[in-house]
A = this chain, B = another copy of it.
Amino acid sequence: MRAATGKRLDAAVLAATGMVGQRYVSMLSNHPYFRLAAVTGQSSVGKKYGEAVPGLSLPISDGARGLRVKATSADALGDVDLVFSPLPTDAAKTLEPELVKSGYNVITDASPHRMDRLVPLMIPEVNPSHLELVKYQKRGGWKGSLVATPNCTAAGLALVLKPIHDALRIRRIIVSTMQAVSGAGYPGVPSLDILDNVIPYIKDEEEKVETEPLKMLGSLGRGGVVPARFEIGAMVHRVSTTDGHLESLYLETEERFDPPRVARLLAAFRGEPQRLRLPTAPAAPIIISDDDARPQPRLDRYAGTVPGMSVVVGRVRKGLDPRSGRLTLLSHNTIRGAAGSTILTAELMYRKGVLN
């Protein structure tokens, strides 16, 4: 088992020329646990990666720049230890199970398999124990493994709900989101749709926001994860920002919601990645702002010791009764909400010996 010996593992990034794919390539340039060994694409197969993404503005290593883009298939991938998959939904649906059958360890940002019974849906600070499900996958005869990262809005939400639920037991959440255009990928949202505008709708998004956090905050049972037993009502909006999803929450809790106490709980929260000092773990997963007008996407999207990995929370305040409260959070959607969290999950798997 390579991980135990501290040897770097070979990693592939699928759809590496896409927006989240580029984040992966940048974050995996010079990574202590993983060596970027393969990148795949669609229209640019055969080109050097550096030529396939000529306008790339994120920093990447020369090694990454020189990799030849491969086709996205089990045949083409070659011998790698793990596969990062920011594939589009339709492609992910069929291709990821194929890769797992071929023996690959796949960690995916795509939605089709997130709610599958044996697939852990991971934010490493929230539910590290859910990685146990990979053992069930093995017992079930899977050749490879499949681990999922939640929807970009659900990621920041679950992280903030975790310490609150632990302390106050949440009964219900009403969440209203203001999401950045990068959440729709590239080309994504046409500029004519969003300049001087807000769109109060994102296809299938509310369903994800209402279910995925419950799985993440659930507990491991025999047949898989028993979801947490509170309710989430979501109202999602696309706004004219480039990066950073803002979410305003109205929370109802079993225990008294004391704003200063909740702010302290959130600021003090640390998870397994912090204890293990994983390379992509920010010192604090949640940062509290005491500026009345924060968090804001443009000012706070790169907050934290690992840029984009900390969620910023502000305006922690009372609700309409003592057992309810309100707050606003800001989470970088392609980092904490995608590539960053997925790499953090991979780091946790590496350290726990799951990627053998």
Contacts and interface: CB of A to CB of B under 8 A. Distances in A.
B172 A320 contact: yes
Interface stretch (A97-105, A135-143, A174-182, A280-288): A174-182
A108 to B, nearest CB: 23
Given A195-B240, A196-B242, 17 more contacts: A55-B291, A176-B248, A181-B191, A188-B192, A189-B192, A195-B241, A197-B241, A198-B241, A200-B293, A200-B315, A200-B328, A201-B293, A233-B319, A233-B326, A237-B246, A240-B240, A242-B298
B190 A189 contact: yes
Contacts of A150: none
Number of copies of this kind of chain in the complex: 4
Contacts of A233: 250, 319-320, 324, 326
22 contacts: A19-B192, A55-B293, A57-B300, A172-B320, A178-B178, A178-B237, A187-B187, A188-B190, A188-B191, A189-B190, A190-B191, A195-B195, A195-B241, A200-B293, A200-B314, A201-B292, A201-B293, A231-B320, A233-B324, A235-B328, A240-B241, A250-B250
Interface in A194-236: 194-201, 231, 233, 235
Contacts of A328: 200, 235
A132 interface: no
A240 B172 contact: no
